């Protein structure tokens, strides 16, 4: 999983990721106190994939996002700025 781009973002951000096989990817977004504020189950194709995430309904700030596939989880930081 690559870092989202752009970061900081205002309305949308893209996350590029690779999975070794078809399957379900669990995407979760957390605020800095650890509360889950968004969750989506993705069904990507094997190989390279992109996920466009709409941030317009979220408050500006710093978030952590994770993607879990076959029991392996990767986590990165996402910043939303409305400037």
**Position 54 confidence tier, pLDDT thresholds 50, 70, 90:** very high
Closest CA to 83 of 13, 10, 14: 10
For the chain, the structural domain boundaries read 12-80
Task: Provide CB contacts within 8 A for 70, sequence distance 6+.
Answer: 23
How far apart are the C-alpha atoms of 19 and 28, rounded to whole Å?
17
Look at the pTM and tell me if it is higher than 0.85: yes
Q: Does domain 12-80 have CATH number 2.60.40.3080?
A: yes
How far apart are the C-alpha atoms of 46 and 11, rounded to whole Å?
28
Q: What is the pLDDT of residues 5-28, one digit of tens each?
A: 999 999 999 999 999 999 999 999
């Amino acid at each position: 999983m690559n870092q989202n781009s752009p970061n900081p973002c205002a309305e949308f951000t893209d996350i590029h990721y690779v999975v070794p096989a078809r399957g379900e990817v669990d995407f979760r977004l957390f605020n800095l106190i650890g509360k889950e504020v968004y969750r989506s189950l993705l069904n990507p194709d094997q190989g390279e994939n992109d996920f466009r995430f709409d941030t317009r309904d979220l408050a500006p700030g710093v978030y952590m996002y994770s993607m879990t596939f076959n029991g392996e989880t990767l986590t990165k930081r996402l910043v939303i700025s409305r400037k």
